[in-house]
């Protein structure tokens, strides 16, 4: 668990991750490994920011002198609104996960980071469970990479709204793992230890179970997938985190020290 600072009590550091909750985040450990590898000065801390307080919190952290902020759930849409400029991808996803505070510019490294993690995996059919900020980035990236995408969300209207942005997306009326080479859990169910009532007997044996969340033990989603290949959110965390740090520093960031720091 991280030492977490309420945003009004945050000490000056160079970088931070903001979210609610954020105590579970591996980003401080991972990004410190990157900074050490690159012989870069500065600290990276975890800051608690409720969704309703994102904009004043970012104003405060900018005034303190922070250089860069990573944003995790549930704050990515609010962070997008705070930025003066955002990348085209982040604007379409309505989700910013990386901000350069000095210029108030935001990008989204979730989508490119996710695609990096599945580059070597065969199959072009993906099912995404969830329609929040991370799911939007994943769906848009999968579609751009010419995957066939199925989408389910507990509130179907949110899935329909997301599907309207991406031609060819199929909206499911119930969560399913059938007819997919990759099944991505982009819901927050794993944070609470909840399952999604999935029938994994419908899934093909080669189907990759991919949970964007991570925890000390396998999530309920991953455990329910049986002997099928599995990946948790640490791989995406590393990939998107390296892209974020590269955005701030203007130089390539090695992945391996970051992977070791998070135990993969």
Mean pLDDT, range 7-16, rounded to an integer: 97
Mean pLDDT, range 145-153, rounded to an integer: 96
pLDDT at 190 over 90: no
Asked if 29 is an active-site residue, the reply is no
Looking at residue 1, its pLDDT comes to 67
User: Is-contact 116 242, C-beta < 8 A?
Assistant: no
Peptide bond into 113 cis (omega under 30): no
pLDDT at 138 over 90: yes
The angle that helices 27-37 and 233-249 make with each other, rounded to 10 degrees, is 50
Residues shown for the chain: 264
Whole-number percent of the chain with pLDDT over 70: 97
**Which of 29, 76, 174, 230 is the catalytic position?**
76
pLDDT at 122 over 90: no
Single pTM value for the model = 0.91
Alpha-carbon torsion 61, 66, 71, 77, what sign? positive
pLDDT category, 256, cuts 50, 70, 90?
A: very high
What the chain holds in terms of domains, given with CATH numbers, is 4-108+236-261 (3.40.50.10860), 112-231 (3.40.50.720)
Phi, psi dihedral angles at 18 (to 5 degrees) = -115, 145
pLDDT category, 61, cuts 50, 70, 90?
A: very high
Q: Which of 232, 221, 227, 224 is nearest to 264 (CA)?
A: 232
């Amino acid at each position: 668990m991280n030492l977490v600072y309420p945003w009004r009590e945050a000490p000056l550091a160079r970088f931070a991750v903001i979210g609610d909750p954020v105590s579970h985040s591996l980003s401080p450990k991972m990004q410190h490994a990157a900074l050490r590898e690159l012989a870069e000065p500065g600290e990276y801390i975890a800051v608690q920011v409720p969704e309703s307080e994102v904009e004043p919190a970012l104003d405060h952290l900018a005034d303190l002198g922070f250089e860069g902020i990573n944003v995790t759930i549930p704050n990515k849409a609010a962070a997008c609104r705070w930025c003066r400029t955002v990348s085209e991808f982040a604007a379409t996803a309505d989700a910013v996960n990386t901000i350069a505070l000095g210029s108030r510019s935001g990008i989204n490294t979730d989508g490119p980071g996710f695609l990096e993690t599945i580059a070597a995996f065969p199959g072009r059919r993906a099912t995404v469970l969830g329609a929040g900020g991370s799911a939007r980035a994943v769906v848009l990236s999968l579609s751009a990479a010419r995957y066939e995408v199925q989408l389910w969300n507990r509130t179907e209207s949110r899935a329909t709204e997301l599907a309207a942005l991406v031609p060819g997306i199929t909206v499911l009326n119930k969560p399913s793992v059938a007819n997919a080479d990759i099944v991505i859990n982009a819901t927050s169910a794993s944070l609470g230890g909840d399952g999604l009532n999935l029938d994994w007997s419908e899934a093909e044996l080669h189907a990759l179970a991919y949970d964007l969340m991570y925890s000390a033990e396998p999530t309920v989603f991953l455990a329910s997938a049986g002997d099928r290949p599995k990946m948790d959110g640490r791989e995406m965390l590393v990939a998107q985190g390296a892209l974020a740090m590269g955005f701030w520093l203007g130089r390539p960031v090695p992945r391996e020290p970051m992977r070791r720091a998070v135990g993969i």
